[in-house]
Amino acid sequence: MELIVARHRADLVRARRGGAVALVPTMGALHEGHRTLIREARVRADQVVVSIFVNPLQFGPSEDFSRYPRTFDTDLEVCRAEGADVVFHPAVEDMYDPSRQVSVSAGHMGTIVEGAVRPGHFDGVLTVVLKLFNLVRPDLAIFGQKDAQQLSLIRRMVADLDLPIEIVGAPTVREPDGLALSSRNRYLSADDRRVALALSRALRAGAAEFTVPGILAAARAELDAAGPRLGVDYLVLVDPATFAEVSESYAGPAVLAVAARIGDTRLIDNVILTLNSG
């Protein structure tokens, strides 16, 4: 079946057909990580909708909204190759009325860890995701685990607002050298990339330890070894449901998360661990 490109809300209504619908929300610049999300959606649903929309609400005034990569023609080929049925690609003015007043609040979880570094970011994420849910009306939506706090907040929104949507988290996809796939990786020079590999090394080092202090110390040592070109925003070990930092006696699932800047490029990464008390 031919790939449908829907640019307006009415186009989505016409494109919808029977059966289960899966939504894969993206900002474009699609890479292998996005391909795995589309493949997962293809397995789980009768119709796969991929949204491509660079959402201005989730960018701060000094962030990279204007230079965020926009590769729509190439993205369409990716969607076509992976068997997507519909690409939703609205203009900003179609998504946000100039008189808009109501947004989604991410609450306390939206103000900590990543939210502390990027104030308002998660309010913008949840607002656009809720709008996409209302427009596409999917039965399930698939997000990457690389954006772990985003995934947790979307699950919280779905639970708190009683949305009838299954949220599926897909594992992080990595390049052969360990760097987590990101649309922003294309900003990195060869030297920047060598520095950026400290993030995945730190996560591997932390995952090899067994105590909260040991995990954080081992990960921190790898980050420190990268030198001053790596500007670390945070390194935390958190409860995946709340993103609150865990105590030394914590037992259960945890997320070791890191964010850092290399030159003008900011990258995030994480790994899921299971901690045993004592």
pLDDT digits (tens, 9 = 90+) for 97-138: 999 999 999 999 999 999 999 999 999 999 999 999 999 999
pLDDT at 1 exceeding the cut of 80: no
Give the CATH number for residue 153: 3.40.50.620
CA neighbor of 193 nearest in space, from 174, 177, 173, 209: 177
Per DSSP, 82 falls in state T
DSSP output for 123-153:
HHHHHHHHHHHHHH--SEEEEETTSHHHHHH
* Residues with catalytic roles: 34
Q: Is 180 inside a domain boundary?
A: no
- 134 and 201 part of one domain: no
Annotated binding residue 184: yes
φ/ψ bin of 244: left (φ > 0), alpha (ψ from -120 to 50), beta (otherwise): beta
Q: How many domains does the structure of the chain reveal?
A: 2
Contact call for residues 86 and 6 (beta carbons, < 8 A): yes
Give the CATH number for residue 205: 3.30.1300.10
- 55 and 115 part of one domain: yes
Mean per-residue pLDDT of the chain: 96
Q: Is 22 inside a domain boundary?
A: yes
Q: In terms of residue numbers, what domain contains 116?
A: 4-170
Annotated binding residue 181: yes
Q: Is 276 inside a domain boundary?
A: no
Annotated binding residue 214: no
pLDDT of residue 278: 57
Contacts of 142 (CB under 8 A, 6+ apart): 22, 23, 24, 37, 40, 41, 44, 168, 169, 170
pLDDT digits (tens, 9 = 90+) for 60-110: 998 999 999 999 999 999 999 999 999 999 999 999 999 999 999 999 999
Q: Please report which helix (H) or strand (E) contains residue 225, including its range.
A: helix 212-225
Q: Is 259 inside a domain boundary?
A: yes
- 77 and 158 part of one domain: yes
- 129 and 160 part of one domain: yes
- 166 and 189 part of one domain: no
- 148 and 22 part of one domain: yes
- Helices 121-136 and 148-160 cross at an angle (nearest 10°) of 60
pLDDT band for position 18 (50/70/90)? Answer: confident
Q: Is 51 inside a domain boundary?
A: yes
- 70 and 9 part of one domain: yes
Q: Is 176 inside a domain boundary?
A: no
pLDDT of residue 62: 85
Percent of the chain with pLDDT over 70: 99
Mean pLDDT of 145-149: 97
pLDDT digits (tens, 9 = 90+) for 6-15: 999 999 999 9
Question: For the chain, how big is the Rg over CA atoms in Å?
Answer: 19
pTM as predicted = 0.96
- 92 and 154 part of one domain: yes
The rounded distance, in Å, linking the Cα atoms of 136 and 42 is 16
Annotated binding residue 183: yes
- 224 and 143 part of one domain: no
- 115 and 204 part of one domain: no
Contacts of 14 (CB under 8 A, 6+ apart): 6
pLDDT digits (tens, 9 = 90+) for 203-256: 999 999 999 999 999 999 999 999 999 999 999 999 999 999 999 999 999 999
Q: Is 278 inside a domain boundary?
A: no
pLDDT of residue 42: 98
- Residue bearing tokens 């599926």: 168
pLDDT at 144 exceeding the cut of 70: yes
Annotated binding residue 121: no
